[in-house]
């Protein structure tokens, strides 16, 4: 009898993956889940065609494999910029087109977030990976709608979720017949009275724990976890040393001008240095 | 200059409510936000017409004002019963019809949860209050879609959300021109190593805090907060003593047979006793 | 075989208390654990003989049963006032003498906190209850040293502790042969990003949970839990409605002049009103 | 005007350390705070002279610099083994003597925990570093008593403490004129409903955050943080990649026979492999 609340993604109930092998998610020419870590980079939000192309070119040169860019932005305040996607249907299509074209221009698959079911159909026509953001982790209807598009899903842990819950909801995606799930740790709510000095608390033990529980690959997003540019390098290296299959990092060529989350953007030059060091670390850390 | 991240629902920026008065939400003949507390009761999930009518009759006799019943159930496991709404469109319509008819038969407005944007249009045709569940608190697109129906919204705090975040997302509803928002405290994630003996941790200070920050009424759901039948009475009375404008309590006439959350259901007789004592408490506690 | 990590205080392993009766802690003429709630009140810190006597007289008139006053104050900053006890041995003796005399003058047993083992011998000569503060909950050597004095122990839950841990450490006191333990809920660390508007998060479900797990009485400290004068009334009433055996409330006749925690002090007049209402609530809430 | 609650250890208020340099703590011939990471290893508890010597020899060969071994064990249950120190004064002296001798025999300074003020005088005569455990972080009297011994203090973060609180209490040690403080991150209480699969949640961002706030060195204890032997390697490597000045790891030559925390002990062979890889990682990760 199967007692675990997640079964389809459970290493123990699978015959194909043994005790340590990882399901490899293929995104065009990119393979995520292999020894070599995958780097996903780009601006928090797509702001303009020009700026996106400029950043895409630079992150590609820095060594990134996948281009990210938010079109529909989840925001805490209704009075903040919600991404071009929320400006209207035409603007959404325009921003998604820029993203797709920037990816093609520089040879990178692209990923963007769907924030609600109504956006799934549209977004799926432009991207190579559909992202489910942290705030939507529990949104089972959205998960199912996105899963049915048969594209790889980048699935971020909710900041209030245990690892068990995270995997239970990944199971919703697998139950639609889609096992191309890229799990993403991005920090949980801070605990304690007083300051912790970071936006969320990065739970890096989630990386090896998830790898023991499931055969799905897991990456880390140090940008949203820390919210601090000056911590991205150390948390990126720690993630790779912990065994993460990749990193998603927010990059802007003019960080101080970014419309969203300016404080956590790093420059393309910093990205390049991190990717270089991270690759060396991986080779040494792998058992 | 307005600095608070929520403005439309902020007591400080409103002229109409002064320092203590509450926005009264009218649900048919029921007024929520007045001195007399409102009791919302019914089964966790709508299971059958017969069972729903039986329970509706009994909670009405026990003193309840509003009938609740889940049609679309958010569940942690994709392998669990998801409510009749997830069985198909016909089943959803049937369950919603039963709910509406049970409400009419026993003179109670009704409330049910929408779990995703795709359900808003349908659900809004059958209910008097649209519920946004805890797991969807951050789902801004769903909030906006529901708000536009111009029905009162019962808006539950996410179990990982601070009070500030809770109010920031209520602001999404208000920004659509809908101020008939009923806030609902339902417990946050437990802290600490070892057992806390309840499902979530009920944060009752949220009641007076919310009343000072906003003019919106706030109720408490002790059923989901504790997950324990034997704690419903004490937490219900504590909520009313703390100043809550109402309670939402799960009731089943055959608790042990309930398809969902059987361990937290109380009987109609217990409900009646709680309502009686709660009303007396309110009269004494009011300053 | 006994599997619970706490046995001596476990309701299930006791023959004397049945399913609902509470161990009554006798503090001179005061009985804590009976139906009638006990009120413990006084300043956060003993500041001067004159001020202490003035406050003692007023809290007695307001209906308080036990006088509190801190001599050794646990503080987050080494640069803050640490209580008269930390000023030197002579000052500690003086402050403890004032406390004892104020109690005698107005017919109230007294309670003060011991912050370290070195203070136990001295403090035990002056007080009727020894308080172990939240920060020392895990300090097993201090617990044992205090327990051996055979005085009632007021034992506060640590703000990072689960209820199970709280009871495990109460067991350290009981294991010294001292069952006169008064448990005290005083709030746990807040969860979530953004403001919760209170110092800690009061976990009122701890009251009925503890009463089901153990036969020991439990009281609530709304002053430290909220840190806000304007929330003391509602949280006090909620605590009594939840079944607490008493309350510990910080009172100052000139709140704004208090050397420690000024923002959470209420006046003697407010205390009187709260005690009056709380007593009425208890009579109605008791089943 | 100085506004930070910690000043003496604050990088900003110090002239000696600039923006990045670390205070080097000298422990006999060992320097902690330099580029080369320091490894502290040994059994959770000192169990017997023979077993301790056997383990000491092996951890030394594996590359460890400092020997650890608990004599006074903080335990959640009064009914569990509390370390030889709690068996009586003679047993405490015996266990401390073994520890000192094992250190001398294999050329390693030694560290053990003091759990209460009464143990400080005795322990300080036998060890090179005094450890203040997680549960005693808030125990200001113990901190001051230990600090006055002028030995280096290994100071572990409480599992319910924010980083700000952690540093506020380190300030208590510094205020006694003792700046030889080794901070230690060892995990905080897990958040979320459901399983997280580790004992605590390792907060690795604490490493770079602490390094920016203060000039004190910080190490990581992956053993208590995870409670799982199979996660020690990945979390050790992640800690070093994040910039930690060292690691404290529990090692036993017969892990399954350990009297305390058997599930988190690794073997000397595993330690050796981790130390080897960690040193390589450090050289690459250093900027």
* DSSP sequence for chain B: ---SS--TTBGGG-SSSTTT--PPEEETTEEESSSSPEEEEE-SB---HHHHHHHHHHHHHHT-SEEE-BSS---S-TTS---GGGG-HHHHHHHHHHHHHHHHHHT--EEEEE-SGGGHHHHHTT-SEEEEPGGGTT-HHHHHHHHTT-S-EEEEPPTT--HHHHHHHHHHHHTTT---EEEEE--B--BSSS--SSSSB-BTTHHHHHHHHBSS-EEE-HHHHH--GGGHHHHHHHHHHHT-SEEEEEB-SSGGG-SS-GGG-B-HHHHHHHHHHHHHHHHHH--
pLDDT of residue A3: 60
Output the CA–CA distances (angstroms, integers) from residue A18 to A21, A23, A215, A246, C246, in the order listed. Answer: 6, 11, 9, 21, 58
Chain A adjacent subunits, 3+ CB pairs under 8 A: B, C, D
Element at C259 (helix H, strand E) = none
Sign for the pseudo-dihedral over CA of C276, C282, C284, C285 = positive
A172 inside 8 A of chain B by CB = yes
pLDDT of residue A114: 97
Contacts of C190 in chain A (CB under 8 A): 193
CA distance B213 to B167: 9
Scanning A175-194 for CB atoms below 8 A from D yields: 188-194
> Residue A219 pairs with which residues in a beta bridge?
A184
Q: What's the pTM? A: 0.96
* pLDDT digit string, tens, across residues B226-282: 999 999 999 999 999 999 999 999 999 998 788 877 899 999 999 999 999 999 999
Query: With pLDDT > 70 as the criterion, what percentage of chain C qualifies?
Result: 99
Chain B residue closest in CA terms to A172:
B78
Average the pLDDT over C41-67 and give the result. 97
* pLDDT digit string, tens, across residues C230-277: 999 999 999 999 999 999 999 999 887 888 778 999 999 999 999 999
CA distance A238 to A232: 10
pLDDT band (50, 70, 90) for residue A97: very high
Chain C adjacent subunits, 3+ CB pairs under 8 A: A, B, D
Scanning B258-277 for CB atoms below 8 A from C yields: 277
Q: Tokens for C5, please give them.
A: 């990590």
pLDDT of residue D1: 38
* pLDDT digit string, tens, across residues A22-67: 999 999 999 999 999 999 999 999 999 999 999 999 999 999 999 9
Q: What is the DSSP letter of D266?
A: B
pLDDT band (50, 70, 90) for residue D259: confident
C196 inside 8 A of chain A by CB = no
Cβ atoms of C169 and C140 within 8 Å: the answer is yes
Least confident among A2-6, B52-56, B119-123: A2-6
User: Is the confidence at residue C11, as pLDDT, over 80?
Assistant: yes
Q: Which residues contact C80 (CB under 8 A, 6 or more apart)?
A: C260
pLDDT of residue D204: 98
Least confident among A236-245, D76-85, D138-147: D76-85
pLDDT of residue B3: 60
Q: Please report where in the chains the tokens 């100071």 appear, as a residue.
A: D155
Chain C residue closest in CA terms to D166:
C76
- Closest CB from B115, B169, B172 relative to A141: B115
* pLDDT digit string, tens, across residues D105-147: 999 999 999 999 999 999 999 999 999 999 999 999 999 999 9
* pLDDT digit string, tens, across residues B118-173: 999 999 999 999 999 999 999 999 999 999 999 999 999 999 999 999 999 999 99
Helix/strand/coil (H/E/C) assignment for every residue in D68-134: ECECCCCCCCCCCCCCHHHHCHHHHHHHHHHHHHHHHHHCCCEEEEECCHHHHHHHHCCCCEEEECH
D158 inside 8 A of chain B by CB = no
Average pLDDT, chain B: 95
User: Is the confidence at residue D87, as pLDDT, over 70?
Assistant: yes
* pLDDT digit string, tens, across residues B163-219: 999 999 999 999 999 999 999 999 999 888 999 999 999 999 999 999 999 999 999
Query: With pLDDT > 70 as the criterion, what percentage of chain B qualifies?
Result: 99
Output the CA–CA distances (angstroms, integers) from residue B90 to A254, B75, B84, B87, B122, in the order listed. Answer: 53, 21, 9, 8, 11
CA distance A96 to A91: 9
pLDDT of residue B117: 94
pLDDT band (50, 70, 90) for residue A1: very low
User: Is the confidence at residue D2, as pLDDT, over 80?
Assistant: no
3-state secondary structure of D200: coil
> Residue C219 pairs with which residues in a beta bridge?
C184
* pLDDT digit string, tens, across residues A164-173: 999 999 999 9
HSE at residue C91, side-chain half, CA atoms within 13 A, is: 13
Chain B adjacent subunits, 3+ CB pairs under 8 A: A, C, D
Contacts 24+ apart (CB under 8 A), C10-17: C10/C213, C10/C214, C11/C212, C11/C213, C11/C214, C11/C215, C14/C215, C16/C215, C17/C215
User: Is the confidence at residue B100, as pLDDT, over 60?
Assistant: yes
**Best interface-test mutation with B: which of C10, C166, C192, C273 has the largest number of B CBs within 10 A?**
C192
Contacts of D240 in chain A (CB under 8 A): 241
């Amino acid at each position: 009898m199967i007692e675990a609340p997640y079964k389809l993604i459970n290493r123990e109930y699978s015959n194909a993956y043994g005790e340590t092998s990882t399901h490899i998610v293929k995104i065009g020419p990119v393979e995520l889940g292999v020894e070599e870590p995958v780097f996903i980079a780009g601006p928090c939000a797509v702001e303009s065609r020009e700026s996106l192309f400029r950043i895409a070119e630079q992150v590609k040169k820095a060594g990134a494999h996948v281009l990210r860019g938010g079109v529909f932005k989840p925001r805490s305040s209704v009075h903040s910029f919600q991404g071009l996607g929320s400006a209207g249907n035409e603007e959404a299509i325009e921003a998604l087109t820029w993203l797709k074209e920037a990816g093609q221009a520089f040879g990178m698959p692209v990923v963007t977030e769907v924030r609600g079911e109504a956006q799934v159909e549209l977004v799926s026509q432009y991207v190579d990976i559909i992202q489910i953001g942290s705030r939507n982790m529990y949104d089972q209807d959205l998960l199912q709608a996105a899963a049915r598009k048969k594209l790889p899903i980048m699935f971020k842990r909710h900041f209030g979720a245990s690892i068990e819950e995270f995997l239970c909801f990944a199971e919703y995606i697998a139950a639609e017949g889609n096992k191309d799930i890229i799990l993403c740790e991005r920090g949980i709510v801070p605990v304690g009275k007083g300051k912790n000095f970071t936006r969320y608390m990065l739970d890096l033990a989630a990386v090896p724990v998830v790898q023991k529980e499931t055969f799905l690959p897991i990456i880390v997003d140090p940008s949203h976890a820390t919210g601090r540019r000056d911590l991205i390098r150390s948390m990126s290296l720690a993630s790779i040393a912990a065994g993460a299959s990749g990193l998603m990092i927010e990059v802007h060529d003019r960080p101080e001008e970014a419309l969203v989350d300016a404080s956590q953007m790093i420059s393309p030059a910093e990205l390049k240095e991190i990717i270089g060091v991270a690759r060396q670390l991986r080779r040494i850390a792998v058992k």
